[in-house]
A and B are shown apart, each in its own frame.
Chain A
Amino acid sequence: MLSIQTNHVGHSLIRIEDLCKSYDLQDASGNTITNQVLFNINLTINQGEFVAIMGHSGSGKSTLMNILGCLDTSTSGSYWLSEKNVAKLTNDELARIRNQKIGFVFQGFNLLKRVTALDNVATPLLYAGVGRSQSRKQALELLRRTGLENFAMHQPNQLSGGQQQRVAISRALINQPPLILADEPTGNLDTQTSREIMLLFQQLNRDQGITIVLVTHEDDIAAYARRLIRLKDGHIIYDKNNNTNISVDKLSRIFPA
């Protein structure tokens, strides 16, 4: 935990102190049972890091991810995102943060059904107040960069899993957020496609300095990150830099083409 304390000062993008999360459940006889999922989490992530949060199911990693993404609120403790105390923000301000500061990539892609890839990518811009034609122009440019310009007018069900995830990544990038949160982004993909997606994340992290926080339970996916955090039963049990991380050049040895 000492390393976290030293990371604390400086340009931290994410700073979490003593964060707890619990759910109130009703059991069969109507009594309220408090189920605590996260216990006193302290965590700082700096601008430009590539972090993998690991753990088995039930470890609390998805809950932590939802709190980091301002989709859920903590029960106690504090969370600063870009030096803003998230707990004090209104719903509208949270929506603006999700729109401007965070790009989400999900396991199930979560694209809007029966909406073209182009419009899926453009939608965050619409919520940012950009006009439709300008949004589409930018979305098309982004799809071109991820190699999907020929699929712009396809609907999600006409695309492969890897293509859908690349559309989702394009959507996450369109407002140029400093942070990308990826929740099991390769969970529905085969090994080859997973590798392509992870390389894309590495590239974004290295070339554009985008902070990437990745949640996964697979060690070989976490290996792409430069910092590994392991959660167990709601506690951080491991937080170290990943010296053996897979970079583009080492990759060919691990995944022979």
Chain B
Amino acid sequence: MNFLAIVGEALRALRQNRLRTGLTMLGMIIGVAAVVLMLSIGQGAQTKINQTIAEMGSNLFIVVPGATSSGGFSFGSGSIRTLTIHDAQAIAELPTISATAPVISGTAQLNYAAKNWSTLITGTTPDYFSVGNWKIESGTTFTESDLRSANRVVVLGSVTAQNLFGDEDPVGKTIRITNRPFLVVGVLMAKGQSLTGRDQDDNIFIPITTSERQITGNQFPGSIRLMLVQCKSADEMDIAEIEITQLLRQRHRIAKGKENDFTVRNLTALADVATGAAKVMSMVLGAIASVSLLVGGIGIMNIMLVSVTERTREIGIRMAIGANQRAILTQFLLEAMMICFMGGLIGLLLGIGGAWVVSQVADMLIVITLGMIGLAFLFASAVGIFFGFYPAKKAASLKPVDALRYE
């Protein structure tokens, strides 16, 4: 018997029992839709985290001054100001390091015309923008010469710019920071929230020299709150960490066996943890959805077994008029697989539709990849073959005389 004819017989059998076929398919539809939806949500979360990490800047270390203790009291990290701008400059000279950006920070009151706004103020160097992966929306960043002459220039974060200026273009305007006039040279592109949920765009940036001398002041001149260090490549992160540590120990004249007075943190490692967590979440979601696919598969087996019993006489007739075991096996297997395939297709469309709805309603990033679609289909077919085979085998191995006599 040719294969196409068996396909026709299987299709006819499915059409004859529309309700049963539909209900069986429903199990498959829900399973595949759930898998697609869950995978796309998981993948979306992963992509979102990856984006945030990329925006943070790649291959980053953050170096903060260490903790100190005095008379038995331990003060928190950064409680002494051991790191200096000169440390940052020295680290920048290391062969594995591409740039460093020292940072001092504080808060300040801003005024423009009748509006005023209080925000975080960051004193840093021009390298900060490349290290932190900031992009300029309009104007420029401040320059090395601004830094050397401690000019009163400022780069605004997008949220700050919006709050002070509204629709007006801030570049070239003068704002007052704690009553001192500053020239706005640039506005940054929006970056959104950091991994910790802080709005990174509500911020202003001025040369670190200007900040130290005129705005935030400094208890220990030349010391900094932290520095960002960018490594040239991801592979050299480990070496770079050792080099930074050694260099700072030398510069700070720390004797062997004494603890560091600074801490080097690898931000990429943090990012890896976050990505890993997202992956685990993605897998857990997928696994939960797979259970419904499994249940759908068992439903198919159940129905096919009932179908074989119910159609025993039909199987007997087919055998009497010349169907061999392979023809019977193929027909029943095809029926199961068609249910899976059609159910899978509908489930896929529903899953994509559901993902779109979720992305609209919950404002989440949803990612659907070809691999995901392939996986769902592969899984659906596998379920069809796996759960369809046993009933089909059972049908095919009936003895013609017994099948014919079955009432």
User: A69 near B326 (CB under 8 angstroms)?
Assistant: no
Chain A neighbourhood of B399, CB < 8 A: 71-72
The answer to whether the Cβ of A232 comes within 8 Å of any Cβ in the partner chain is no
Q: Which of B116-124, B189-197, B316-324 makes up part of the contact surface?
A: B316-324
User: A95 near B319 (CB under 8 angstroms)?
Assistant: yes
The answer to whether the Cβ of B8 comes within 8 Å of any Cβ in the partner chain is yes
The answer to whether the Cβ of A249 comes within 8 Å of any Cβ in the partner chain is no
Q: Name which residue of chain A comes closest to B15, CB basis.
A: A114
The answer to whether the Cβ of B269 comes within 8 Å of any Cβ in the partner chain is no
User: A95 near B322 (CB under 8 angstroms)?
Assistant: yes
User: B4 near A127 (CB under 8 angstroms)?
Assistant: no
User: A126 near B400 (CB under 8 angstroms)?
Assistant: no
User: B322 near A71 (CB under 8 angstroms)?
Assistant: no
Known: A99-B321, A124-B321. 13 other contacts (CB 8 A): A71-B319, A91-B324, A92-B324, A95-B319, A98-B400, A99-B323, A104-B321, A110-B313, A112-B314, A123-B321, A124-B322, A128-B322, A132-B8
User: A171 near B322 (CB under 8 angstroms)?
Assistant: no
Chain A neighbourhood of B263, CB < 8 A: none
CA A175 – CA B323 in complex, angstroms? 13
Q: Given A110, A111, A113, A115, which contacts B404 in the complex, CB threshold below 8 Å?
A: A110
Q: Given B1, B320, B322, which contacts A175 in the complex, CB threshold below 8 Å?
A: B322
Q: Name which residue of chain B comes closest to A119, CB basis.
A: B12
CA A244 – CA B29 in complex, angstroms? 68
User: A131 near B325 (CB under 8 angstroms)?
Assistant: no
User: A92 near B325 (CB under 8 angstroms)?
Assistant: yes
A binding-site residues for B, Cβ under 8 Å: 66, 69-72, 91-92, 95-96, 98-100, 104, 106, 110-115, 123-124, 126-129, 131-132, 171, 175
CA A230 – CA B12 in complex, angstroms? 43
A250 to chain B, nearest CB (A): 33
User: A127 near B401 (CB under 8 angstroms)?
Assistant: no
CA A90 – CA B170 in complex, angstroms? 91
Q: Name which residue of chain B comes closest to A174, CB basis.
A: B321
B binding-site residues for A, Cβ under 8 Å: 1-2, 4-5, 8-9, 12, 16, 313-314, 316-327, 399-401, 404
Q: Name which residue of chain A comes closest to B17, CB basis.
A: A114
Q: Given B1, B314, B324, B401, which contacts A126 in the complex, CB threshold below 8 Å?
A: B1
Q: Given A70, A92, A127, A132, which contacts B321 in the complex, CB threshold below 8 Å?
A: A127
CA A111 – CA B9 in complex, angstroms? 15
Q: Name which residue of chain A comes closest to B320, CB basis.
A: A104
User: A115 near B317 (CB under 8 angstroms)?
Assistant: no
User: B317 near A96 (CB under 8 angstroms)?
Assistant: no
Q: Given A71, A115, A129, A131, which contacts B401 in the complex, CB threshold below 8 Å?
A: A71
Chain B neighbourhood of A129, CB < 8 A: 1-2
CA A99 – CA B313 in complex, angstroms? 17
Given contacts A92-B324, A115-B12, contact A98 B404 (CB under 8 A): no
Chain B neighbourhood of A110, CB < 8 A: 313, 316-317, 320, 404
Chain B neighbourhood of A99, CB < 8 A: 321-323
Q: Name which residue of chain B comes closest to A72, CB basis.
A: B401
Chain B neighbourhood of A114, CB < 8 A: 16
User: B324 near A131 (CB under 8 angstroms)?
Assistant: no
Chain A neighbourhood of B316, CB < 8 A: 110
Chain A neighbourhood of B325, CB < 8 A: 91-92, 95
Chain B neighbourhood of A92, CB < 8 A: 324-326
User: A71 near B404 (CB under 8 angstroms)?
Assistant: yes
Q: Name which residue of chain B comes closest to A131, CB basis.
A: B2
Chain B neighbourhood of A171, CB < 8 A: 321
B224 to chain A, nearest CB (A): 84
Q: Given B1, B400, B404, which contacts A127 in the complex, CB threshold below 8 Å?
A: B1
**Closest A-B pairs by Cβ, 3 of them:** A99-B322, A95-B324, A127-B322
Chain A neighbourhood of B404, CB < 8 A: 71, 106, 110
Provide 7 A-B residue pairs closer than 8 Å at the C-beta atoms, listed in order of the A residue.
A92-B325, A92-B326, A115-B12, A123-B321, A127-B1, A127-B324, A129-B1
CA A152 – CA B49 in complex, angstroms? 66
CA A127 – CA B1 in complex, angstroms? 4
Chain A neighbourhood of B324, CB < 8 A: 91-92, 95-96, 127
User: B16 near A132 (CB under 8 angstroms)?
Assistant: no
CA A131 – CA B1 in complex, angstroms? 9
Q: Name which residue of chain B comes closest to A127, CB basis.
A: B322
User: A112 near B317 (CB under 8 angstroms)?
Assistant: yes
Chain A neighbourhood of B327, CB < 8 A: 95, 127
Q: Name which residue of chain B comes closest to A171, CB basis.
A: B321
Q: Name which residue of chain A comes closest to B314, CB basis.
A: A112
B362 to chain A, nearest CB (A): 47
Chain B neighbourhood of A71, CB < 8 A: 319-320, 399-401, 404
B7 to chain A, nearest CB (A): 10
B52 to chain A, nearest CB (A): 59
